[in-house]
Amino acid sequence: MGEVTVGLIADPGLPEKIMHQLKGKLANELRQGTDDSEPWKVHTKREKLPLNSEGEIPFFSLTKRLKNENGWDYLFYLTDLPRAADGEPMLVEIDHEMRGALISLPVLGAVGVQAKARRLILALVHALRAEPLATAFHQLDGVGLGRISYHPGEERDKPSYLTTSGRSGRFRLLVGMVRNNRPGRLLPALSSCIAAAAASGAFGIFYAAIWNMADALSPLRLFMISVLSIGALSAWLIMHNGLWSKTRRHSKWDINEARRDNASTIITVFLSVTMMYLVLYTILLGGSIAVISAGYLQSQLGHSVSFLDYATLSWLAASLGTIAGALGSNFDKDEAIREATYSRRQHERRKLAESYED
């Protein structure tokens, strides 16, 4: 028998990384899961299909062209674009006739994405190859995808869908969106914000009143101040840079998806600012130990000092510096911040929506 080829196409970024991780194991598992002696070959390709006017990837209309161009028997497109159908997270869009599927990786969550994607592709290959798709779900048991619903196309030339349902499915999509946003990417875009926070925090190290204030505050109150400062800067960055999403008139996504989009934005920005806070705290702690002698600190506080006293004053200084970082963020570029906050596809969809609003 001839060789059976499975083509994997992925958007740049995390989907491409997952694609390359899948390539090795997928071919072996495909061979093990078939009863015949057909050799299986997995091909990979990086490509970014353009979004249509509704902010969706027109996969169904492009499946035939993509398969013919590459000579594949099966086609699976991996994207980091969150999608929805009938108000539920859409896991897969399926083209039965062309034996292709578009897989939305955020629906797989944040943990074990590679294993879930591999198991999903194996089930889809067997379903598209011989089995009725509605009877292939048992192959997905135990991989953490929850309850999966099959939505057949209204007509033969219309795509079918797999969706996840329930709170667990929506929560998995939310954390998957945050994972694809990669919170740490925002830090380089906040260079001015970080500089202002560091300068203000350093001032606290040299200001004796801050030492006495930190010494008088309880750990619980210091924790509350740090959470308040991180939350305040996060809220400022979201509102000042236009990161809040409104319901889109030109999109299939309704108000529930807009809320989920905003929730992922809040979590992403909050985690990014928390990372900045921890970096700032570490710098200020090192600076306080290097600059302030134990004897002088003891004379100001009126009691013997230890490392804990340095940690406490650096804690309060970091919180005050974080609040001051909002001033520095005014000098950071709005577009750079937006681009660093979202996955590539989500950023592209937002820009498209904004162009319609304008």
3-state SS assignment for residue 182: coil
Output the pLDDT for position 312. 93
pLDDT digits (tens, 9 = 90+) for 99-153: 889 999 999 988 888 888 888 888 888 878 766 655 655 566 555 677 787 777 7
Return the DSSP state at 39.
-
From the list 198, 260, 270, 274, the residue with the least C-alpha distance to 238 is 270
Q: With left for phi above 0 and alpha for psi between -120 and 50, is residue 114 left, alpha or beta? A: alpha
Q: How many CB atoms lie within 10 A of CB 274?
A: 18
Do 238 and 306 belong together in one domain? yes
Do 115 and 248 belong together in one domain? no
Domain count for the chain, please give it.
2
| Distance (Å) of CA 66 to CA 4, 11, 72, 350 | 16, 14, 9, 26
Q: With left for phi above 0 and alpha for psi between -120 and 50, is residue 109 left, alpha or beta? A: left
Whether residue 350 lies inside any domain: the answer is no
Query: Cβ(248)–Cβ(353) under 8 Å?
Result: yes
Query: Cβ(4)–Cβ(40) under 8 Å?
Result: yes
Whether residue 69 lies inside any domain: the answer is yes
Residue segments in the chain with a per-residue pLDDT below the cut of 50 = 249-253
Do 269 and 334 belong together in one domain? yes
Output the pLDDT for position 157. 64
What does R_g of the chain's alpha carbons equal in angstroms? Answer: 25
Angle at 38 (CA atoms; ends 32, 43), nearest 5 degrees: 80
Output the pLDDT for position 250. 45
Output the pLDDT for position 87. 76
From the list 200, 177, 181, the residue with the least C-alpha distance to 189 is 181
Whether residue 357 lies inside any domain: the answer is no
Do 28 and 105 belong together in one domain? yes
Do 141 and 269 belong together in one domain? no
Task: Give the H/E segment covering residue 38.
Answer: none
Query: Cβ(178)–Cβ(267) under 8 Å?
Result: yes
Q: What residue numbers bound the domain in which 14 lies? A: 4-166
Lookup: tokens for 7? 């083509």
Cβ neighbors of 297 (< 8 A, separation 6 or more) are 211, 305, 309, 310
Which CATH number belongs to the domain containing residue 66 in this structure? Answer: 3.40.390
Q: Which residue has the tokens 């798709």?
A: 133
Burial 321-347 (b: 16+ CB within 10 A, else e): bbbbbbebbeebeeeebbbbbbbbbbb
Output the pLDDT for position 140. 61
Do 189 and 159 belong together in one domain? no
Whole-model pTM: value is 0.85
Q: How many CB atoms lie within 10 A of CB 20?
A: 12
Do 131 and 212 belong together in one domain? no
Euclidean distance between CA atoms 110 and 177, whole angstroms: 8
Do 148 and 196 belong together in one domain? no
| Distance (Å) of CA 61 to CA 9, 56, 310 | 16, 12, 63
Do 66 and 202 belong together in one domain? no
Do 203 and 109 belong together in one domain? no
Whether residue 223 lies inside any domain: the answer is yes
Output the pLDDT for position 188. 86
Cα torsion through 21, 25, 30, 36, rounded to 10: 150
Whether residue 356 lies inside any domain: the answer is no
Do 14 and 149 belong together in one domain? yes
Do 292 and 208 belong together in one domain? yes
Among residues 114, 135, 166, which one ends one of the domains?
166
